Chains A and B, each alone.
Chain A
Amino acid sequence: MVENRPVLTILRHLVLGLGVVIVLFPVWVAFVASTHPQAALMSGAAPLLPGDRLVENYSRLLASGMSQAGGTPVGLMLLNSFIMALLIATGKIAVSLVSAFAIVYFRFPFRMVAFWIIFLTLMLPVEVRILPTFEVIADLGMLNSYAGLTIPLVASATATFLFRQFYLTIPDELAEAARMDGAGPMRFFRDILLPLSRTNIAAIFVIMFLFGWNQYLWPLIVTTDESYTTIVMGIYRMVNVSDEQPQWHLVMATAMLALLPPVVVILVMQRLFVKGLVETEK
Chain B
Amino acid sequence: MAGIGIRDVVKRYGDTKVIHGVSIDVADGELIVIVGPSGCGKSTLLRMVAGLEDITGGEVSIDGRVVNRLEPKDRNIAMVFQNYALYPHMSVYDNMAYGLKIAGLSKEAIRARVDKAATMLQLQPYLDRKPRQLSGGQRQRVAMGRCIVREPAAFLFDEPLSNLDAKLRVQMRLEIRQLQRSLGTTSLYVTHDQVEAMTLADRLVVMNAGVAEQIDTPMNVYLHPATTFVAGFIGSPAMNFMPGRLGADGRAVTLDTGAPLRALPEPIAGHGEKAVTIGVRPEHLTLVGSEAAELTLRVGVVETLGADTLVHGALLDKGQAVVPVAGEGGEVLAARLPGNVAVREGDTLPLRVVEGALHVFDRETGRRLADV
Contacts and interface: CB of A to CB of B under 8 A. Distances in A.
Interface stretch (B78-86, B228-236, B266-274): B78-86
A179 B83 contact: no
B104 to A, nearest CB: 10
B132 A181 contact: no
Interface in B265-306: none
**B-side interface mostly:** mixed
Interface in A152-198: 171, 173-174, 176-183, 187, 191-192, 195-196
Contact of A182 (B79, B82, B88, B99): B99
Interface-centre pick from A173, A180, A282 (highest chain B CB count, 10 A): A180
Contacts of A176: 50, 52, 72, 79, 81, 85
Interface in A236-282: 279, 281-282
A208 to B, nearest CB: 23
Nearest to A179: B72
A171 B85 CA distance: 8
B83 A173 contact: yes
B88 A281 contact: yes
Given A173-B81, A174-B87, A192-B87, A180 B50 contact: yes
A176 to B, nearest CB: 5
Contacts of A179: 52, 71-73
Contacts of B131: 281-282
A176 B98 CA distance: 14
Contacts of A196: 88-89
Interface in B232-268: none
B77 interface: yes
A181 B85 contact: no
A181 B52 contact: no
Nearest to B156: A180
B102 interface: yes
B213 to A, nearest CB: 28
B77 A171 contact: no
Interface string A184-223: 0001000110011000000000000000000000000000
Contacts of A192: 87, 89
Contact of B73 (A174, A180, A279): A180
B201 to A, nearest CB: 23
Interface string B61-100: 0000000000111000111011101111100000000110
A195 B99 CA distance: 17
Given A180-B78, A282-B132, 8 more contacts: A171-B85, A173-B81, A176-B85, A179-B72, A180-B50, A181-B99, A192-B87, A281-B89
A176 B82 CA distance: 12
A191 B85 contact: no
B166 interface: no
A181 B72 CA distance: 8
A114 to B, nearest CB: 23
Nearest to B75: A180
Interface of B: 50, 52, 71-73, 77-79, 81-83, 85-89, 98-99, 102-103, 131-132, 146
B173 to A, nearest CB: 21
Nearest to B84: A173
A177 B85 contact: yes
**A-side interface mostly:** helix
A179 B132 CA distance: 22
Contact of B98 (A171, A191, A279, A281): A191
A192 B89 CA distance: 8
Interface-centre pick from B52, B78, B88 (highest chain A CB count, 10 A): B88
Contact of B77 (A173, A180, A191): A180
A180 B132 contact: no
Contacts of A180: 50, 52, 72-73, 77-79, 99
B102 A187 contact: yes
B85 A174 contact: yes
B95 to A, nearest CB: 9
A182 B72 CA distance: 7
A199 to B, nearest CB: 11
A272 to B, nearest CB: 14
B98 A181 contact: yes
B117 to A, nearest CB: 14
A281 B78 contact: no
Contacts of A279: 132
Nearest to A173: B85
Contacts of B85: 171, 173-174, 176-177
A279 B78 CA distance: 29
Contacts of B50: 176, 180
A191 B87 CA distance: 10
Nearest to B79: A180
Nearest to A176: B52
A177 B89 contact: no
Interface-centre pick from A182, A187, A279, A281 (highest chain B CB count, 10 A): A182
Contacts of B71: 179
Contacts of A177: 79, 81, 85-87, 146
17 contacts: A171-B85, A174-B85, A176-B52, A176-B79, A177-B146, A178-B98, A179-B73, A181-B102, A181-B146, A182-B73, A182-B103, A183-B102, A187-B102, A195-B89, A279-B132, A281-B89, A282-B131
